[in-house]
Amino acid sequence: MTSTRRTAGTIAVALTLATVSLTACASQSQSQSQSQPGSQADGRLLVATTVAPLTSIASAVAGNKARVEGIVPEGTNSHTFEPSPQVAQLLSKADVVFINGLKLEDPTKDLAESNIKDGGRIVEVGTEVLPESDYIYDFSFPEKDGKPNPHLWTDPTYAKKYATVIAGALAKADPKNAAYYKKNAAAFNKQADALDAALRSDQVSVPRRVLLTYHDAYAYFAKTYGWKVIGAVQPKNFEDPAPQEIARIIDEVKAEKVPTIFGSEVFPSSVLSEIGKATGARYEDSLRDDDLPGKPGEAVHSWLGLMRYDYQTMIKGLGGKSPALDKLTITPANPDEAVYPQ
């Protein structure tokens, strides 16, 4: 009888200790979960982004505290991009989804809204930084369609605002690293300021800052830096412009004495080539607005590398020189480990 009571007592003690141990483990696991808000196994945030320039800026701010994955493949028309079903899986796991907004990626936005997890957040960066009173409507984005020009990132002053908004959103998702994100945004903005200064210095050498481009990607840039956009060959439906519009563009290129017109290596334009022949202007077909130069991992494959290249190309194409831009350091403050779909 005594032996039975002792055995029962031993079992009871063992069960009590096991219960305490399991409770402690569960408490510790819950504590770790609460201290690591990210959905990654290592506790980092998972961040989804859309176009490559936005991915680059987000990666610069996130640093090594988040995994950043782009959605729109480089060299793809972001205005007409339709995300694949596989993108839904990424969006359903992301802690934060950054899109440009301003009606640029509506299909991706719709997919994100349908799949975002509890506690996840969608941030329309461009929509947050641009007041409606500052919307620009133009050749490719007529006001009657209700879609403003969304290309804020080609203007460094707006790219800085992007970084600040991104840092704030990441801090909300991951408060313990808020100071880290703020520091990275400040480092990015310092490089954007250096780009701004180099651009302002070099553009003085351009006799007439007049742009004819394949696409209306430089409207906000032109307003900030005193350039004149006389047209875009790619209209709102991304087809060739009507013959009367081509005739108008030819007349204006001649009247403005534009030495170079700018196309894209991603979207070659036979119309721009013909306008060049008709006016005597050189056709430069290497401009880009959301396709980063170089390869992922290279310093030039970045928002900073993209904009420096475009500014150099435009300034030299219009008869200027770019010594300040040529000397500009574009090495990022943090290694860019973002995923860029190709």
Q: What is the pLDDT of residue 265?
A: 74
Domains and CATH numbers, the chain: 45-197 (3.40.50.1980), 206-319 (3.40.50.1980)
Q: What is the pLDDT of residue 10?
A: 45
Q: Where are any strands of DSSP class E within 114-224?
A: 121-124, 210-213
Cα distance between residue 30 and residue 44, in whole Å: 16
Q: What is the pLDDT of residue 96?
A: 98
Cα distance between residue 215 and residue 291, in whole Å: 13
Cα distance between residue 82 and residue 194, in whole Å: 36
Q: What is the pLDDT of residue 1?
A: 42
Q: What is the pLDDT of residue 44?
A: 95
Q: What is the pLDDT of residue 274?
A: 93
| Of 123, 114, 150, 101, the residue nearest 48 (C-alpha) | 123
* Tens digit of each residue's pLDDT, the chain (342 residues): 444 444 444 444 443 444 444 344 444 444 343 334 577 888 899 999 999 999 999 999 999 999 999 999 998 888 889 999 899 999 999 999 999 999 999 999 999 999 999 999 999 999 999 999 999 999 889 899 999 999 999 999 999 999 999 999 999 999 999 999 999 999 999 999 999 999 999 999 999 999 999 888 999 999 999 999 998 887 555 677 888 989 999 999 999 999 999 998 777 788 999 999 999 999 999 999 999 999 999 999 999 999 999 999 999 999 999 999 999 999 999 999 999 999
Tokens standing for residue 2: 């005594």
| Of 146, 92, 147, 84, the residue nearest 122 (C-alpha) | 92
Amino acid identity for residue 233 in this structure:
V
